[in-house]
C-alpha cells in the first residue's frame, strides 16, 4: 500500500540559485509547493529519461518551469520482499538526482524543481497534476514484463488525470519532427486535444495535421444498400464537420499551419498512419462513442499501446 505522499526531499535547480558547485549539479533543499508548468514522473528507467527530456523541451518552449517527481512506496519495506526503507529512499533520490543532472547538462538555463515523495506513484502524480499544465510520464517503467506495451502507472495516469497527460515511449521524441497530429471527432475531449495541439504547435513552430476519420455501417462493405454511391457525399459532410470544429479555435492561433485529413476508416488506424514522423499525437480521452463512464475510449487506448510517437491525452477541463 502507498504512503501519505510525504515529501522526503525537495530541491530547486536554477542557474540563478547557485545549484551548480565545482561543475557538478547538486540539488539543494527548499521550502514551498510545487510550481511550474510541467510535471514529469521519474523512475530511473531509460523510458523515464526520455520522458524527462521531452518534458524539459516542452518547458523550455513554454518558457515555464519543470518539476521532476520520483515516488517510492514505503509499503515495499513491509512486504514479503522486505526491501529496506532507507535503500528505497536512496534509490529514489539517486534517480531524481540523475535526472536533474541530465536536464541541467542539456538545458542549463531551465529552472527545475526536484521532489522525492512517498506513496503510490500513480496516486501521487495525479494528486500533484492539478497544479501543472501538463503531466509527462514514460510509457513503461522499470517493472512489468517483456512485451508489455504500457505500464500500469502510465495507463492509470493517462486515464484519470485532471487535464493533459503526455505519454512518452522508448524512442522519445524525434528532434527533427515538425508536425503534431490531432484526432478530431466533435467531442468535448477532442476539442481540448485540438486546443492542446494548436498551442503546442505555436510554441514549437510546427504545423498541425487534423485527422477526422469516419466509418460507414458494417454491412456497407458487402455492397448492400446505397452506401457505395454516397462515399463522396459522406466525405464532404465529414469534412464540413471538421472545418466547423477548427473554426472555433483557429482564430486564436493564426500563426499555425493546419493540414486537414478526412479518412474513411477506423480512427486509431488513421491516426497511427498519419503520425509517422510526427512530434506527437493529441487525442481526447474519450470520443463520441463508447460508454460514458469509461475513463479512456478505444482510440486513446489503442494509441497508448501502438503509437509511433508520444501521445498527448486530453481530458475535458
Q: Are residues 157 and 114 in the same domain?
A: yes
> What pLDDT is stored for residue 20 in this prediction?
33
The verdict on residue 316 lying in a domain is no
The gap between the terminal CA atoms of the chain, to the nearest Å, is: 30
pLDDT tens string 102-155: 999 999 999 999 999 989 999 999 999 988 989 999 997 665 444 456 788 999
Q: CA 19, CA 72: separation in Å to the nearest integer?
A: 25
Q: Are residues 34 and 158 in the same domain?
A: yes
Expressed as residue numbers, the domain containing 269 is: 179-286+296-310
pLDDT tens string 80-102: 455 566 788 888 899 999 999 99
> What pLDDT is stored for residue 220 in this prediction?
55
Residue 121: count of CB within 10 angstroms of its CB: 24
> What pLDDT is stored for residue 179 in this prediction?
96
> What pLDDT is stored for residue 228 in this prediction?
55
Distance of CA 199 to the CA centre of its chain: 14
Q: With a cut of 70, which residues of the chain have pLDDT below it?
A: 1-36, 75-85, 141-149, 217-230, 287-295, 316-317
> What pTM value is reported for the model?
0.82
The verdict on residue 149 lying in a domain is yes
Contacts of 20 (CB under 8 A, 6+ apart): 26, 104
Q: Are residues 197 and 253 in the same domain?
A: yes
- Residue 258 phi, psi (nearest 5): -125, 125
Q: Are residues 150 and 60 in the same domain?
A: yes
Amino acid at each position: 500500500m502507498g504512503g501519505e505522499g510525504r515529501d522526503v526531499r525537495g530541491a530547486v535547480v536554477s542557474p540563478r540559485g547557485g545549484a551548480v558547485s565545482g561543475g557538478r549539479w547538486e540539488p539543494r533543499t527548499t521550502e514551498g509547493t510545487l510550481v511550474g508548468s510541467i510535471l514529469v514522473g521519474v523512475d530511473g528507467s531509460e523510458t523515464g529519461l526520455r520522458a524527462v527530456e521531452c518534458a524539459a523541451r516542452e518547458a523550455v518552449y513554454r518558457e515555464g518551469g519543470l518539476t521532476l517527481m520520483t515516488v517510492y512506496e514505503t509499503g515495499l519495506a513491509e512486504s514479503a520482499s522486505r526491501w529496506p526503507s532507507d535503500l528505497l529512499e536512496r534509490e529514489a533520490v539517486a534517480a531524481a538526482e540523475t535526472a536533474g543532472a541530465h536536464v541541467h547538462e542539456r538545458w542549463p538555463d531551465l529552472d527545475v524543481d526536484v521532489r522525492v515523495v512517498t506513496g503510490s506513484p500513480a496516486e501521487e502524480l495525479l494528486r500533484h497534476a492539478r497544479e501543472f499544465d501538463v503531466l509527462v510520464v514514460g510509457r513503461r517503467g522499470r517493472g512489468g514484463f517483456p512485451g508489455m506495451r504500457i505500464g500500469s502507472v502510465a495507463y492509470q495516469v493517462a486515464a484519470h488525470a485532471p487535464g493533459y497527460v503526455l505519454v512518452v515511449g522508448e524512442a522519445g521524441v524525434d528532434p527533427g519532427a515538425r508536425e503534431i497530429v490531432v484526432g478530431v471527432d466533435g467531442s468535448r475531449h477532442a476539442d481540448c486535444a485540438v486546443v492542446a495541439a494548436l498551442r503546442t504547435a505555436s510554441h514549437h513552430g510546427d504545423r498541425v495535421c487534423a485527422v477526422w476519420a469516419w466509418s460507414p455501417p458494417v454491412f456497407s462493405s458487402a455492397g448492400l444498400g446505397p452506401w457505395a454511391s454516397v462515399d463522396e457525399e459522406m466525405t464532404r459532410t465529414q469534412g464540413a464537420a471538421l472545418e466547423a470544429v477548427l473554426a472555433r479555435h483557429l482564430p486564436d492561433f493564426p500563426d499555425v499551419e493546419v493540414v486537414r485529413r478526412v479518412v474513411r476508416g477506423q480512427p486509431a488506424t488513421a491516426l497511427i498512419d498519419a503520425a509517422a514522423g510526427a512530434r506527437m499525437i493529441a487525442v481526447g480521452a474519450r470520443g463520441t462513442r463508447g460508454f460514458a463512464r469509461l475513463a479512456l475510449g478505444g482510440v486513446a487506448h489503442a494509441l497508448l499501446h501502438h503509437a509511433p510517437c508520444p501521445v498527448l491525452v486530453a481530458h475535458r477541463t
